Amino acid sequence: MPLWIIYHPPTTFTTPQSKAALSKDITTIYTNAKLPAFYVNVIFIPVSPENYYIGGVPRPSPHSSSNPSGQDTSVPWIRITIQNIARRLPDAAARKRFLGMVDAALKPHIEDKGYDWEYNVEETDRDLWKVQGLVPPSQGSEAEALWVKENKPIPYE
């Protein structure tokens, strides 16, 4: 499964529509790679500025001359962690392509809105993963194709 955790100020992603639109774009990254849509988990976690500090300054907060130089602290800051379990990126070229797809998915929802942001991707061990008590089928297998088609886990041999 991919798990995306999006930490954001309460002033961003304020509607179900904005969350659904970003979640759909994220899901498309994986369904284009022939993964079941239900693998994709996106969690939005609003964090108030008094609980979210970047460089010792709450974000967003009024920008002042006493703040360290650099980014405008009044701009919302978005932090995303991505955990990929279902697939591993085998080489530098695949990682570059994946990061390009992530950037394209985030662009209209974050970059184009002028927010500051960062993300990281973790690849965790597939051997320690189950869905509803089932070990997910192997990549490219008939069982995986059935999971994609039905968009749910189905017992298999």
Asked if the model's pLDDT at residue 67 lies above 80, the reply is no
Q: Are 36 and 147 in contact (CB under 8 A)?
A: yes
In single-letter form, the type of residue at position 127 comes to D
Asked if the model's pLDDT at residue 69 lies above 70, the reply is no
The superfamily CATH assigns to domain 2-128 is Macrophage Migration Inhibitory Factor (3.30.429.10)
Residue 117 Cα to chain centre, angstroms: 12
pLDDT at res. 85 = 95
Asked if the model's pLDDT at residue 64 lies above 80, the reply is no
Q: Max Cα separation, the chain?
A: 65
pLDDT at res. 83 = 97
pLDDT at res. 132 = 95
Q: What is the pTM of this model?
A: 0.93
pLDDT confidence tier of residue 106, bands split at 50, 70 and 90: very high
Region 138-148 average pLDDT: 95
Q: Of 17-21, 71-75, 103-107, 140-144, which gets the smallest average pLDDT?
A: 71-75
Asked if the model's pLDDT at residue 130 lies above 70, the reply is yes
Do you find a cis peptide bond into 60, omega within 30 degrees of 0?
Answer: yes
Instruction: Give buried/exposed letters for 117-131 (b at 16+ CB in 10 A, else e).
Output: bebebeeeebeeeeb
